[in-house]
Structure 1
Amino acid sequence: MSKLKVAIIGCGSIAQNRHLLEYEANEEVDIVAVCDIVEERAMVTAEAFGAKSYTDYEELLNKEDVDAVSVCLPNYLHAPVSIAALNAGANVLCEKPMATSHEEAEQMIEAAERNGKKLMIAHNQRFVSSHEKARKLIENGDIGKVYSFRTTFGHGGPEGWSAEGEDSWFFRKEEAFIGAMGDLGVHKADLLRHILGEEFVDVAGFVENNAKEGISVDDNAVCILRTENGVVGTLTASWAYNSAEDNSTVIYGEKCTLRLEDDPTYSLIAQYTNGEIVKYELGQIQSNDEGGQTNTGVIDHFVECIVEDKKPLIDGEEGKRSLDVILAALESGETRKITKLEK
């Protein structure tokens, strides 16, 4: 079988540290084209990966016959570029958050269905070993009834990782639409839905800009979430954890407390009410601090779904539900009322 022809639209940090490297490592894939509005960045990337260089995504989609596209652009471009790629006959892997509104997300899903193509959202936390193990322990009833949770994702901010540094699009509302909640919080909303196997119905959000000056988006947010079965907990997203990254989750259950990515050595610790403690060494979670050279599993899963014609784990519907949690938190922060989510 011939290799999948892949194009990457947007050659910033997420493309350089994740998508390009993981596509290159996948034997099923041939990177044929890259695109970036910064011509030099596109040309350097194209040369490094033996691809053609473009500065206009529409020109790329018109000229190149590609099987799949990674959309690695500022948030406000996720929907229009994904839809254009789907309409051009390509399967699409879109970075998170998938869109800037519920309506945009639905338009992306409709475009995928109309064109008979895969749409996947790059929520990599589902593929982390400790997270997958915790999901199975909960699903199997090992920890009994789940009562509560707390999850956080925070670091010093995208200026330390983004290709543009302090001038990053992440800080501009017209391009990012949302700050730490869109960069980090949406990952945790998706993770919690996956681990708990439940949907959220109530969201209370405190979404603030209190750490970084001169930016027009949030840099600190704390949300209280409630599931349809009454599990309550907190989700925190921050660009103000300056000393070290925190990417931990704790699940409090009837028989056991699960600590995920909360210990430097053991990625999952299960503390049972009978006194038993089980420590799992399952490999470390991806971190921006380390340069992101480890495989996230996202690209491999996307490629596998195309090759084997399978439904992606995080398809458009899943991406939309996780986005809706974040949109609800934003609405709650503005209205100072609890936002209800439709099931």
Structure 2
Amino acid sequence: MSSVKGDRIRYAVVSGGEISQGAFMPGVASTTNSELAALVTGDSEKARVLGERYGITTCGYEDYEALLHSGDIDAVYVASPNFRHREHTVPALQAGIHVLLEKPMATSIEDCEAMLAAAEQGGAKLMIAYRLHHEPGTLDMIERLRQGDIGQPRTFSSHFLQNLNQRNHRALNGYWAGPVPDMGTYPINAVRHLFASEPIEVSAMADNTPGRDYDCHDTWSVTMRFPEGRMAQFIVGYAASVFNQFSVVGTKGQLQASPCYFFGPGVSITHSLTRDNTTTTVAPGAVEQFGGQTDYFSDCILNDRAPEADGIEGLRDVRILAAIERAMETGQPQSLEPLAYRDRIRSDQVRRLPPAIPPRVVSVETISG
């Protein structure tokens, strides 16, 4: 494991895409324990503009290994396309460099297991970037359901939709870049923690929107079966107006959330809980979600604590994503090995940092076009 110098964790950003430029990099400034140190990119315009904007070192992927051993960084934020996560994560962990890795963790269970082994080998920490695990509205919902505010949660339903630019990389690289790994990870992760349970079976159907040219099915409907007869359903898609919401119905009440997955200066994760004909609405206000997760991970590094959203957390979502792919390919429900739920989310994970203002992104085919 690399030796941390000072009281700030020095991050290199791997891949200068829209999320890196528009969310992670500006969000770091909201923290008190983290700083940007480097950018790894194959795009000379990104290297020039972002290097000047943040006063950081830039290098190409051919020099990534040298950067990992330079002594100039403590951690990397990996936000490359999903199918490149293993390629950029394993060498860093083996070099003792801590990794904050965008979700989904990988495109196969095998890749997830390789990352877990590399973290063990290098003595480095691996955290999956579930930013909502540090957002106050999300953790309030989880806590309310833990307390039994709606009785036992019985059903979950969710929509997460957007109108994706057909030139964006998510539209061009098959299932593992498409809407289920890209967007479905959010309702999958949400219901696991809202139910405090792991699914035991999944089924799926998908189709394409006429006139859209995506290298994947653009609209999916997924059902997950949980122990004790509980059910969860979600729809994700790339060819509709922007929308995100979920609802949970329990034996004594209901919870509805919208927006529930988004981020940004004007986004407050808001929910309403109804019980005994009384509705309570909670709107905690916008927070810096990317800065919040970074602040938490840096605190874990500085104080040598294991992060809550570790590699096992990422693997548990990837196994579900892989089962959904099999369900679509076979037309048959896919069973999942029963697993005990890990109750690890704690209230001290919440971060209430002021939202950063997104800067102009350069040399990117954005989500919206």
TM-score (norm 2): 0.82
Q: Which has the higher contact order (CA 8 A, sep 6+)?
A: 2
Shift of 1:122: 1.1
Which of the residues 81, 84, 98 maps onto 2:105? 98
Shift of residue 62, structure 1, vs aligned partner: 3.8
Alignment of 1:198-277 (within 5 A): 198-210=197-209, 213-242=212-241, 245-261=242-258, 267-272=270-275, 274-277=276-279
Letter in 2 for 1:267: T
Provide the identity percentage.
Answer: 27
Give 1:322's aligned residue: 317
2:10: which partner in 1?
Answer: 5
Superposition pairs of residues 1-343 of structure 1, within 5 angstroms: 1-56=6-61, 57-157=64-164, 159=165, 166-173=166-173, 177-210=176-209, 213-242=212-241, 245-261=242-258, 267-272=270-275, 274-284=276-286, 295=290, 297-343=292-338
The Cα of 1:13 is off from its aligned counterpart by 0.7
Deviation at 1:226, TM superposition (A): 1.1
SS of the equivalent of 1:17 reads helix
**Structure 1: tracts of 5 or more residues without a match:** 160-165, 287-292
CA shift in 2, pair 1:228/1:294, >3 Å: closer
- Is the alpha carbon distance of 1:2 and 1:139 closer, same or farther for their aligned partners in structure 2, counting shifts above 3 Å? closer
Please give the secondary structure, in 2, of the residue aligned with 1:100.
coil
1:289 is matched with which residue? none
Is the CA contact (8 Å cut-off) linking 2:7 and 2:302 kept in structure 1?
no
The unaligned stretches of length 5 or more in structure 2 are 1-5, 261-266, 339-369
DSSP-derived class of the 1:89 partner: coil
Letter in structure 1 aligned against 2:244: N
- Where 1:229 maps in the other structure, the secondary structure is helix
1: CA distance between counterparts of 2:181 and 2:98? 23
Corresponding residue SS for 1:155:
strand
* Change beyond 3 A, Cα 1:298–1:103: same
Task: State the Cα distance separating 1:294 from its structure 2 match.
Answer: 6.1
> Deviations 1:104-141 (Å, cap 9, x if unpaired)?
01111111122111111112233333321111111111
- Determine the structure 2 residue equivalent to 1:163: none
Q: Residues 33 and 295 of structure 2 are in contact (CA less than 8 Å); yes or no, is this contact kept in structure 1?
A: no
What is the TM-score when the length of structure 1 is the normalising length? 0.88
2:220 and 2:291 map into 1 onto residues whose CA distance is: 25
Partner Cα separation in structure 2 for residue 331 and residue 125 of structure 1? 28
